[in-house]
């Protein structure tokens, strides 16, 4: 069986907001679709990827499943399709829900198969036909999460933290009070009642220090409903549980953070293990195994995001422990301690000054001294040629985890004008230097890796002048 890496899709694919669902014997991932180096989120049409439930390394491209201009309110395709979710309705058909840009409208499309071409069905509306989001004072429709429950009832979750200008939402002043829930009629489009706020973004009922921001996602485990969302910190996915779908949720904790914040008590964003920005995803349950799907940032901004996943461990009480970000989330264990590995699977990345955020004004200017993931080709071209650019002195790229053997050598593939050494350690503080590989203007030598056998992390730190482009490394038995 092939190995699985993070990101788990090809290097040229940029799928954020990934929602994994099991239909039949395959896992299907539905997400937004970023364009490499785009100036804004979600420029491309929706596509789908799937893998056998028994082999999460074998992802297959299912093609375009829904185009922006299929929505009659977007015939020119100028508006964007934000984070979607899919459920299998009580009638056996598949329903795709999507946030329609920042317009405050939620669309629905339908298909007879999980990854076929979805057809526009309608916009989520009230019983009188008024589109949700077109009444003054409506809660802003955004980031749908949908659950077709065992009893045939269908629940729709939504919500966004930041108020949106009325000029964007058809001149209507909409509310942004937090995460909402509403039940749908059997037609899968009509609301049975008013959406109700059950995850307030502030005040009584909110989750202190992990208040709701966006990214509603819902799953059911036996009699327990599990709600996943992005908090106001933006870089983390949290969860809450309840015995009913429409309220009574109790905060469970953080599932994953892009920078491993809140793990081991670290809340200092400057000391995060990776660059921060928004993230969004959902839970996948396969037998006894649980995974959290999320996305990372690339190219020094929030508009070229890639799909990642981590395996979750359960607590004795039945909750979830926070997962650390790794290079091998879906692999079922550490990567083999030999072979060629692309630098793009680094799960940790920072500069001599720590990390920064990719959201906020002008991040590229503020981060010009920092390393970052990028690619040589254009959007969806070939293998993308993805690598780590701009590794200046003190920059670190970390990879977790490998099954290291007794005698191993490491060699590098690099570019750029950097001159110096790439130090290798199994510790992020480099208290023990296991190898030093000489680099000179894109040329690199190999070196023995003096590392104890076992499951180890690999950290690469550049020391020298100029900037290195880190493409790949190879582990070879001596």
Instruction: Give the domain CATH number at 178.
Output: 2.115.10.20
Helices and strands of the chain, counted as H and E runs: 1, 32
Check: CB of residue 128 under 8 Å from CB of residue 190.
no
pLDDT at 105: 95
Annotated catalytic residue 17? yes
Joined together, the tokens standing for residue 119 give 């057809």
Pair (197, 249) in one structural domain: yes
Burial of 352 (0-12, 13-18, 19+ CB in 10 A): middle
pLDDT at 170: 72
Check: CB of residue 451 under 8 Å from CB of residue 385.
no
Annotated catalytic residue 214? yes
List strand residue ranges (DSSP E) for 112-184, in order: 119-123, 145-148, 154-159, 178-184
- 373 vs 45, 61, 478, CA distance in Å? 23, 23, 31
Whether residue 53 is predicted with pLDDT greater than 70 in this model: the reply is yes
Pair (227, 156) in one structural domain: yes
Mean per-residue pLDDT of the chain: 95
From 329, 359, 377, the end of a domain falls on 329
**Domain contains 308:** yes
Burial of 19 (0-12, 13-18, 19+ CB in 10 A): buried
Pair (291, 355) in one structural domain: no
CB atoms under 10 Å from CB of 288, counted, come to 6
Whether residue 80 is predicted with pLDDT greater than 90 in this model: the reply is yes
**Domain contains 287:** yes
**Domain contains 334:** no
Residue 448 CA to residue 288 CA, distance in Å, equals 40
From 298, 329, 360, the end of a domain falls on 329
Q: What are phi and psi of 203, to 5 degrees?
A: 80, -165
Cβ partners under 8 Å of residue 3, min gap 6: 57, 328, 331, 335, 336
pLDDT at 364: 67
Pair (346, 286) in one structural domain: no
Check: CB of residue 413 under 8 Å from CB of residue 445.
no
Check: CB of residue 361 under 8 Å from CB of residue 280.
no
Pair (156, 276) in one structural domain: yes
Whether residue 431 is predicted with pLDDT greater than 90 in this model: the reply is yes
**Which position among 17, 71, 101, 426 bears the catalytic label?**
17
pLDDT at 382: 74
pLDDT at 196: 98
**Domain contains 10:** no
Pair (364, 454) in one structural domain: yes
Termini Cα distance of the chain = 25
Joined together, the tokens standing for residue 471 give 């493409």
From 329, 358, 392, the end of a domain falls on 329
**Domain contains 9:** no
**Domain contains 284:** yes
The residue behind tokens 């003190």 is 394
pLDDT at 441: 82
User: Any idea which of 29-38, 54-63, 156-165 has the lowest mean pLDDT?
Assistant: 156-165
Q: Average the pLDDT over 367-394 and give the result.
A: 91
Query: Is the bond preceding residue 208 a cis peptide, omega within 30 degrees?
Result: no
What confidence tens digit (pLDDT) does each residue in 345-365 have? 999 999 999 999 998 666 766
> Could you give the number of structural domains in the chain?
2
Residue 339 CA to residue 329 CA, distance in Å, equals 18
pTM attached to this predicted model: 0.97
Residue 358 CA to residue 322 CA, distance in Å, equals 23
CB atoms under 10 Å from CB of 465, counted, come to 11
Q: Average the pLDDT over 141-170 and give the result.
A: 90
* Confidence bin at 164 (pLDDT 50/70/90): confident
Half-sphere exposure of 282 (CA within 13 A, CB side): 31
**Domain contains 126:** yes
Pair (183, 289) in one structural domain: yes
Question: pLDDT exceeding 90 applies to what percent of the chain?
Answer: 89
pLDDT at 252: 98
Among 153, 302, 141, 319, smallest CA distance to 228 is for 319
Q: Domain with 429 in it: what CATH number?
A: 2.60.120.260
Query: Is the bond preceding residue 401 a cis peptide, omega within 30 degrees?
Result: yes
Pair (292, 407) in one structural domain: no
- 393 vs 145, 332, 377, 461, 472, CA distance in Å? 44, 34, 26, 8, 18
Pair (240, 132) in one structural domain: yes
Pair (180, 77) in one structural domain: yes
3-state helix, strand, coil in the chain (%, to 5): 5, 45, 50
Domain containing 247: what range?
19-329
CB atoms under 10 Å from CB of 460, counted, come to 25
* Confidence bin at 237 (pLDDT 50/70/90): very high
**Domain contains 13:** no
User: Any idea which of 50-54, 359-363, 382-386, 458-462 has the lowest mean pLDDT?
Assistant: 359-363
- 71 vs 14, 76, 384, 396, 406, CA distance in Å? 22, 10, 30, 45, 59
**Which position among 13, 19, 62, 214 bears the catalytic label?**
214
Among 239, 243, 242, smallest CA distance to 229 is for 239
User: Any idea which of 56-60, 159-163, 241-245, 408-412 has the lowest mean pLDDT?
Assistant: 159-163
Pair (117, 144) in one structural domain: yes
Whether residue 171 is predicted with pLDDT greater than 80 in this model: the reply is no
Pair (154, 117) in one structural domain: yes
């Amino acid at each position: 069986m092939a190995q699985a890496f993070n990101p788990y899709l090809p290097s040229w694919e940029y799928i954020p907001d990934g929602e994994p669902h099991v239909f039949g014997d395959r896992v299907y991932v539905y997400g937004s679709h970023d364009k490499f180096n785009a100036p804004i989120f979600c420029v491309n049409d929706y596509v789908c990827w799937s893998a056998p439930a028994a082999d999460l390394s074998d992802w297959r491209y299912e093609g375009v499943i829904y185009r922006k201009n299929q929505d009659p309110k977007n015939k020119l395709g100028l508006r964007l399709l934000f984070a979607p979710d899919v459920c299998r309705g009580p009638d056996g058909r598949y329903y795709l829900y999507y946030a329609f840009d920042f317009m405050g409208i939620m669309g629905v499309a339908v298909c007879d198969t999980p990854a076929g071409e979805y057809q526009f069905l309608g916009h989520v509306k009230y019983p009188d036909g008024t589109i949700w989001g077109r009444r003054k004072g409506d809660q802003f429709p955004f980031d749908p999460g949908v659950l077709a429950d065992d009893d045939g009832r269908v629940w729709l979750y939504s919500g966004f933290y930041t108020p949106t200008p009325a000029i964007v939402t058809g001149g209507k002043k909409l509310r942004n009070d937090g995460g909402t829930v509403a039940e749908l009629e059997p037609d899968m489009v009509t609301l049975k009642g008013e959406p109700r706020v059950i995850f307030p973004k502030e005040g009584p009922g909110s989750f202190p220090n992990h208040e709701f921001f966006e990214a509603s996602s819902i799953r059911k485990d036996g009699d327990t409903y599990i709600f996943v969302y992005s908090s106001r910190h933006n870089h983390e996915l949290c969860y809450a549980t309840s015995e009913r779908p429409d309220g009574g949720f109790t905060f469970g904790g953080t599932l994953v953070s892009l920078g491993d914040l809140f793990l081991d008590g670290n809340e200092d964003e400057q000391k995060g293990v990776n660059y921060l920005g928004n993230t969004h995803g959902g839970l996948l349950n396969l037998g006894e195994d649980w995974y959290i799907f999320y996305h990372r940032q690339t190219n020094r901004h929030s508009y070229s995001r890639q799909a990642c996943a981590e395996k979750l461990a359960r607590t004795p009480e039945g909750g979830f422990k926070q997962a650390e970000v790794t290079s091998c989330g879906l692999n079922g264990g550490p990567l083999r301690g030999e072979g060629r590995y692309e630098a793009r699977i680094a799960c940790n990345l920072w500069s001599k000054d720590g990390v920064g955020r990719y959201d906020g004004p002008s991040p590229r200017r503020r981060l010009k001294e920092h390393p970052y993931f990028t690619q040589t080709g254009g959007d969806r071209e070939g293998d993308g040629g993805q690598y780590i650019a701009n590794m200046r002195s003190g920059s670190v790229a970390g990879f977790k985890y490998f099954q290291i053997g007794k005698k191993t050598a490491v060699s590098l593939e690099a570019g750029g004008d950097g001159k110096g050494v790439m130090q290798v350690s199994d510790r992020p503080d480099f208290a023990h230097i296991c190898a030093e590989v000489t680099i000179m203007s894109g040329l690199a030598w190999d070196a023995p890796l003096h590392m104890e056998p076992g499951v180890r992390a690999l950290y690469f730190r550049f020391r020298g002048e100029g900037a290195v482009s880190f493409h790949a490394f190879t582990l070879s038995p001596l």
